Amino acid sequence: MQKWRQSIVFSLVLALLGWAAFYSIQPKINVAQPGRLNEKAIIAEADVLLIAETDIITSYVYLPIVKAPPPPNPKKGIGVVTPPACTDLRELDAAWYSKWSPWPDSSSCTPEELAKFVPRIRDAEDMQDLNQAIEIAKASGWLIGFTEPNLPWQGNISPAQGAIYWRQIEVAANAAGVKLVSPSPNQYSPGEADPYGHQWTWEMVKEYKKRYGTNPHFDAFGWNIYKRSPDDIKSYLNARHNEALDRGYTVPIWVLEYGGECWNSSTGKTGNTAVMTEVTSWFNKTSWIERYAWFANRLTSANKGWQSCSLINVSTGNLSDLGKIYRGY
């Protein structure tokens, strides 16, 4: 038994000595220098001097830099007649949309995309939804006024009625910190289809001042324009801009609807391509044009003539020829 115990103790001592010897001969490496290291460690065991050379190689992996696509042009929007609004917004690389109502398109837009929608009080009937419209407008920060109020078959609001409604809109918007785009009358000259034509806005300004003693508040002016000639569109908007300056307004313009003479597609004289290319480029270069929206994304229920202005081919769901051009802006 005694020998057996001595054998165990002797084995333990040898194991400890072996571990100590193994530890003592490990190379001592200086890793202060980055990259490839070639250090010499002096290792001594008994009377033998060993020189160990240790190579450590650092490998580098190079990954390609992938740039995120640039954000859409903040000026460029679309008028959405038919959903899916946000699907088309992405396809056209546009930044915002409106749809002639206070309500966003929930069929294709995520809650995160609510800020891309600018709600609108289209006519007198929409005034009952003013509070909800203001809540929705908080996401984008903007609310748009009446649609072509000078036309009986569109907004159909007199300047006097418009002044009263606008006061209510102002009070609600101001309390919520929401900015306002003026009503956008049709392009007709006074007396052409109604007494006021494109001067409806200034008639409303007169009625408002008569009733409340001050000018109505606008953060931007809204206008609609359809012409075959790019120069005619530029002249029209320059005239409206100068009229605003003459009345003390220095705010920018939102072109809420524009296009060529879509209804003339049977004659081939719409001017759509010329308007799309020349006028859109001019919008982007003109400082007082803050936003613009081509009419429209998908014209499915309109007559065949108006469908010539569609940015999306209603049959295939793909970009139309105009849509391909518009995407590039």
Asked whether residue 40 carries a pLDDT value surpassing 80, the answer given is no
Tell me: the pLDDT tens digits for 140-189? Answer: 999 999 999 999 999 999 999 999 999 999 999 999 999 999 999 999 99
The CATH number assigned to the domain holding 198 equals 3.20.20.80
Residue 226's nearest CA partner among 128, 293, 140 is 293
Sorted by sequence, the CB contacts under 8 Å of residue 295 that are 6+ apart come out as 79, 224, 226, 257, 258, 259, 262, 309
Sorted by sequence, the CB contacts under 8 Å of residue 202 that are 6+ apart come out as 243, 247
What pLDDT, on the 0 to 100 scale, is given for residue 303?
65
User: Residue 4: pLDDT band by 50, 70, 90 thresholds?
Assistant: very low
Across 223-229, average pLDDT: 97
What pLDDT, on the 0 to 100 scale, is given for residue 264?
81
Please state, as a whole number, how many other Cβ atoms lie within 10 Å of the Cβ of residue 269.
11
In a domain, 197, yes or no: yes
Asked whether residue 262 carries a pLDDT value surpassing 50, the answer given is yes
- Say how far apart CA 121 and CA 291 lie, in whole Å: 18
User: Residue 60: pLDDT band by 50, 70, 90 thresholds?
Assistant: low
Asked whether residue 224 carries a pLDDT value surpassing 60, the answer given is yes
In a domain, 52, yes or no: no
In a domain, 8, yes or no: no
What pLDDT, on the 0 to 100 scale, is given for residue 11?
52
What pLDDT, on the 0 to 100 scale, is given for residue 236?
99
State the distance between the two ends of the chain, measured CA to CA, in whole angstroms.
97
What pLDDT, on the 0 to 100 scale, is given for residue 302?
65
Kindly tell me the burial class for residue 122, based on how many C-beta atoms sit within 10 Å of its own C-beta (0-12, 13-18, 19 or more): buried
In a domain, 193, yes or no: yes
In angstroms, how far is CA 8 from the centroid of its own chain?
81
Across 97-121, average pLDDT: 95
The residues pairing with 295 across neighbouring beta strands, listed in sequence order, are 79
Backbone angles phi, psi at 227, to 5 degrees: -145, 150
In a domain, 184, yes or no: yes
Going by their DSSP bridges, the two strands 37-45 and 48-56 should be labelled as: antiparallel
Please state, as a whole number, how many other Cβ atoms lie within 10 Å of the Cβ of residue 47.
5
In a domain, 24, yes or no: no
Asked whether residue 214 carries a pLDDT value surpassing 80, the answer given is yes
Q: 92-106, 227-241, 284-298, 300-314 — which is least confidently predicted?
A: 300-314
3-class DSSP state for residue 5?
A: helix
In a domain, 44, yes or no: no
Overall domain count for the chain:
1
Average pLDDT for the chain: 86
In a domain, 133, yes or no: yes
Domain that holds residue 300: 76-327
